[in-house]
Structure 1
């Protein structure tokens, strides 16, 4: 009986492999059930739960270059470029402050970019295409530039050491720098004189009789030329010029200097 069953089973397998018909117990011939053997091709896997049909792959967010709180020369360039297209009116200061963040956000919104207030690669490239390379005095329009080394004539005694190259003033005593401030000079039509002078008159609340303009904390050193506070310099920076005087924008600093400088102290104006 077992032998008969084995033979039948063998015959069934052979029939399937050969694709022939088999005869049933009713005497009728029937097509066998076709069984396909594996051919080595894996069946397609069902899509992962996250990959739904029709879903699109999100592009990675652009890298953030600078954001609020960052400082440095790159921030000055960002601010200078934003000023060129009237999105920023203060600075450059070199600090990514709230005004810079608001300017970047406005620029982004105007151009259909995400309004994050952070400067990412896409925002920066768009800004580069719309602006020119800022010059040195665009970056330091409102001051903040480093001072160059003092002139040798400033290293002895008490001296206001004024550099036209770096646009800075060092108040020095016996070769030691007490205070450093950015300064502004006269235009090409009213240039600030160069050389070695001395303070001959101090006038705390001076008003120019020639130009009818305030000259607080004036320290005169050559004719009508003086070192003094300038509200115009404080407001416009290097976008303007003096009538030959040495302008200081930091009122607190020049008030401190005015209190220390004496008549007869040396004034050196150099390149």
Structure 2
């Protein structure tokens, strides 16, 4: 008897096709006229044709590129650019934290200084390039999130490794007269006149084996280009207050920060600041060193 409609052969093919479709998730791999494979095309299992209103061309899963890879991190055309948080020339505590975190991931050696300088800009650019981000040198919200995920919250001394921390409240003995008011807890020196702070600078002290003496003293000698006869080291802008201990500029402190220590002196890392201080301090002015 003659078969109608699709015919026996057609029905066998349709049944086989249906089995393939069920096993393969309702997709088949097509082959174009150039002999190359195309992306899967969805097929209606009842008719054997693509669904109505559905393109039969290249269909790929959402969130992948034409080659099946994850899309790049580059923003799409018209996408809103990441917000810039800090850039060269900015200053403050937030910049200091940025620098401390860059030190943790070994992209910055110097600092933190609290100033977004050329070294910080280069460190940020290197960090960005290593992670496939645009190498702008500016810290935007995307860069900052990546850095936060790779570092930990810096402690007080991580933030102020090179100095610049807030000065402690002055000792009561510093509130009258002309005083070099030196706080060991905040590692700062205040130059005070009649209770008013004229200037503040970061300082470091002697090690546990050569501690800086505490108490009330007086500047008894000033020596602009002094060189230590005991250690054969330069002590520019030296203002002696207790034996061989003095307030003076330190090249080592400027270079290494708190990674080093003095032999008992009060080291200052800012040469311009101590040069100005040296010009103002007189022999006989009081020195107070306290915790």
Which category describes the TM-score, using the shorter chain as reference length?
0.7 to 0.9
Aligned to 1:14: none
TM-score normalised according to structure 2 size: 0.68
Deviation at 1:63, TM superposition (A): 4.1
1:224-252 Cα distance to aligned partner (Å, 9 max, x none):
11111111111122222111100011222
2: CA distance between counterparts of 1:254 and 1:61? 44
1:210 counterpart SS class: coil
Query: Which of 274, 279, 286 lines up with 1:254 in the alignment?
Result: 274
Query: Are 1:202 and 2:235 counterparts?
Result: no
1: CA distance between counterparts of 2:283 and 2:268? 19
Range with bigger deviation, 142-151 or 102-111: 142-151
Query: Are 1:99 and 2:119 counterparts?
Result: yes
Aligned to 1:188: 208
2: CA distance between counterparts of 1:260 and 1:117? 41
1:1-271 matches, cutoff 5 A: 58=76, 61-271=81-291
1:267 counterpart SS class: strand
Structure showing greater radius of gyration is: 1
2: CA distance between counterparts of 1:169 and 1:105? 35
2: CA distance between counterparts of 1:147 and 1:261? 20
Structure 2: any 5+ residue segments left out of the alignment? 1-51, 56-64
2: CA distance between counterparts of 1:129 and 1:211? 45
1:68 counterpart SS class: coil
1:113-164 Cα distance to aligned partner (Å, 9 max, x none):
2222222333223323333322212212222222222111011122111111
**Bigger relative CO (Cα 8 Å, ≥ 6 apart):** 1
1: CA distance between counterparts of 2:89 and 2:164? 17
Structure 1: any 5+ residue segments left out of the alignment? 1-42, 47-53
2: CA distance between counterparts of 1:126 and 1:245? 42
1: CA distance between counterparts of 2:137 and 2:201? 32
1:189 counterpart SS class: coil
2:110 counterpart SS class: coil
1:49-100 Cα distance to aligned partner (Å, 9 max, x none):
xxxxx99994755444333343321111111111233322332222323322
Gap change, CA 1:206 and 1:112, over 3 Å in 2: same
Range with bigger deviation, 250-259 or 195-204: 250-259
1: CA distance between counterparts of 2:89 and 2:227? 40
Paired residues, what number?
Answer: 222
TM-score normalised according to structure 1 size: 0.73
